[in-house]
Amino acid sequence: MKPGLAIGARGIFRHRIGAAHTVPALYPEAELFQAMPGVFATGYMVGLMEWACIEQLAPYYEDGEGSLGTHVDVNHVAPTPPGLTVTVETEVTAVDGKFVWFKVRAHDGVDQIGEGRHQRAIVRWEKFVPKAMAKAEGGGVIARDRMGAN
């Protein structure tokens, strides 16, 4: 990781919520999800918080680096219907070697919908990808071409 990422550094990320981000879309094969309201899914909210943190970290990646989520501790306290834009605010709270901790907060323009903390690990893709592929092969799974990092 390049130097310069400081504790207290903040970021803002916005994304418009569509029908593809709702509970029924999370696992279309899950019958019980299909019976639930079409509101922003917690799983997608967590993913959006991760995306916001990735965007904040991206300028600090060395060539061949990226980051992976290693810890999530967030609440989801209000529904968001499709069409609203969710704003995620991030703040770096700790940098410990390859680990970066963030405070995250999400708002849909009407309500605060979630907040908590998230940790990411800075990784070198050339080390990570072969380990993941070996795990897939050991488990009898053919590694898909998406396993490679960009």
For residue 41, give both structure tokens: 């899914």
70 a catalytic residue: no
Half-sphere exposure of 122 (CA within 13 A, CB side): 21
50 a catalytic residue: yes
| Cβ count within 10 A of residue 88 | 26
* Interatomic CA distance for residues 119 and 69, integer angstroms: 6
Exactly one of 15, 42, 87, 89 is catalytic; name it. 42
42 a catalytic residue: yes
* Interatomic CA distance for residues 78 and 118, integer angstroms: 19
* Interatomic CA distance for residues 80 and 92, integer angstroms: 26
Exactly one of 15, 55, 70, 76 is catalytic; name it. 76
Exactly one of 50, 65, 90, 107 is catalytic; name it. 50
Residues noted as catalytic: 42, 50, 76
